[in-house]
Chains A and B, each alone.
Chain A
C-alpha cells in the first residue's frame, strides 16, 4: 500500500494546459524527487498535492483516502522558511499544534525532545532573526513535521542556502528522514541534490509537463557518504541529463 498517490492528474490554467496526466506513488519512508527545469510545472504538482489547486482531472489519495483539493492533510515547506519573526523558535514550531487548538504547554512539551533530534537544541527561546539560514530551515522542517509528519512536500528547501550549508543540510536531512522514517516528495531542479537524497527520481519534462522517466537510485540512503564522487553517481547524472534531453551537455 502506498502512503501518497497521485492518479492521472491534469491541470490547465485557463486554456493553457500546465501538467498532463501525472501519476506518482510514494511508499512509507521513501524519498522521491520530482526533477525538472524551472517553470516546468513542478510547483503546480506541488500545489495540487498540498490541496491549494484542484486538478481538472485525476485524484490524489493519502493512505487510500481521497484528499483531492483538500488542504491540511499534507504539510509542505518552501525555499523561504516562513517563520514568524516576532515569535520565538519554540512558538513558531508549535504553531500547527496551536492551530489545532492544543494547549500551549502541552504543545511545547511535545516539541521539546524534537529540538535535540533536529539539531537545533538551545534555540527554543531565540527569535528567527538570531539564527542562520540553515538553522531556520531546520526549524521550518520541525514545524512541518509537527503538523503532519507522515507525508511531507519540500519545494526546493535548500536552494536559498550557500553551498557549504547546503551540503551540511543534505547530510542532516538524510539523517532526519531515516530517524523519523518520513515520507518525502522533494521538488528540486538540482540534479546532484536529487541523486544524493532520493530513493527514486521522477523526471518532469515536455510541455504540458508530464513524467517522462523514473530512475531508481540503488545504493541505500545509508551508503551516501562520498556517493557524489563515485562512478555510479556520474552514471545516474548522465542518465538524468539524457532524460532531460541534454545528453551531450
Chain B
C-alpha cells in the first residue's frame, strides 16, 4: 500500500513541478514584474495557441512530414550502414571515423548550404533530418549487432546456420533494445532538425511560423509554438515506448 502511494507520488511530482513553474511565471508576469512585451504570461500563450490553432496545425503538418520522411530515410540509411559495417570489418575501420566526422559539422552551418544546393522546398529539410538521425541509429545498431554472444554464434554455426540466418535470428533481435534507445533520441532530433532547417528558409512549417512571429515581436505566439514543438516531441517519444513494448514482448514478461 505504502509503495503504491509512493509510486503515485512519483508520477505526480513532475506534473506538480511543471504546474509550479507555470504558476510562478503567471504570478510574475500577471503582477507586471516583467513587462508583457518581454515575457508573455502563460495565459497569453494559451490564448495565442487557441487563436492561431488552425495555422499552427497547418505548419505542424509540414514539419511532421519532413521529420517523418527524414527519420524514415535516416533509419534505412543507418540500418544499411550498420549492416555493411558489421559484415565487413575493413569498412568498419575505414568508415567509422568518417561517420563521426559528419556529426562534428554544426547543423546551423550545414543547413544554409543545403538550402543553397537544394532550394527552399522539402528536400534540404529532409536531408538535414537524415544527417542528424542516421548517426545514433547506426551506432546503436552496430553496438547491438556486436553484442551477440560468441558461444551462441558458434553453437548455431555448428547446427548449420549460415551468416544470414545468424544475422536474422541472433543479431537483429539482439539489437532491438539498442535501436529503440536511439530511436527515442532520433525522433526529437528529427523535429528539431526540421524546424531549424525551415528557419533558414522555406515556405511552410513551424520554423517558418517561428521566424514570422519573431519578426512581428509576437512573443506569445513564439512561446505557443515552442510548447507545441515540445509537446510533439514528448508524444513521439511516448509512441516509441509503446512501439518498443509491442515489438519486445519478452522484456515485459521476463
**Which A residues form the contact surface with B (CB < 8 A)?**
50-52, 71-72, 75-76, 78, 80, 82, 84-87, 95-96, 99-100, 126-127, 129-130, 147
Contacts and interface: CB of A to CB of B under 8 A. Distances in A.
Contacts of A126: 253
A75 B159 contact: yes
Given A71-B157, A100-B160, A84 B253 contact: no
A48 to B, nearest CB: 13
B155 interface: yes
B254 A127 contact: yes
Interface stretch (B64-72, B116-124, B146-154): B146-154
Given A95-B169, A99-B165, A100-B160, A82 B250 contact: no
Contact of A99 (B152, B160, B249, B254): B160
Interface in B192-220: none
B222 to A, nearest CB: 46
B181 to A, nearest CB: 16
Interface residues on B, range: 20 to 34
A80 B151 contact: yes
A99 B155 CA distance: 12
B155 A76 contact: yes
Contacts of A129: 250, 253-254
B250 A127 contact: yes
A86 B159 contact: no
B151 A78 contact: yes
The winner among A80, A87, A96, A99 for most chain B CB atoms within 10 A is: A99
A72 B151 contact: no
B159 A147 contact: yes
A86 B248 contact: yes
Interface of B: 149, 151-152, 154-161, 165, 169-170, 173-174, 176, 248-250, 253-254
Contacts of B161: 99
B158 A85 contact: no
Nearest to B172: A86
B176 A86 contact: yes
A147 B170 CA distance: 18
A55 to B, nearest CB: 16
Contacts of A78: 151, 155
A76 B158 CA distance: 9
B154 A85 contact: no
Contacts of A96: 159-160
11 contacts: A72-B160, A76-B155, A78-B151, A80-B151, A82-B152, A84-B169, A85-B250, A86-B248, A95-B169, A96-B159, A129-B254
A52 B159 contact: no
A130 B254 contact: yes
Nearest to B149: A82
B155 A84 contact: no
A130 B248 CA distance: 14
Contacts of B160: 72, 96, 99-100
A99 B254 CA distance: 26
Given A84-B173, A86-B176, A127-B250, A50 B151 contact: no
Contacts of A51: 158
Nearest to B157: A71
A80 B169 CA distance: 18
Given A84-B170, A95-B159, 10 more contacts: A50-B158, A75-B158, A78-B155, A82-B151, A82-B152, A87-B173, A99-B156, A99-B159, A129-B250, A130-B253
A129 B254 CA distance: 5
Contacts of B253: 126-127, 129-130
A151 to B, nearest CB: 13
Nearest to A127: B250
Nearest to A51: B158
Contacts of B157: 71
Nearest to A77: B155
A182 to B, nearest CB: 17
Contacts of B156: 95, 99
B251 to A, nearest CB: 8
A85 B169 CA distance: 11
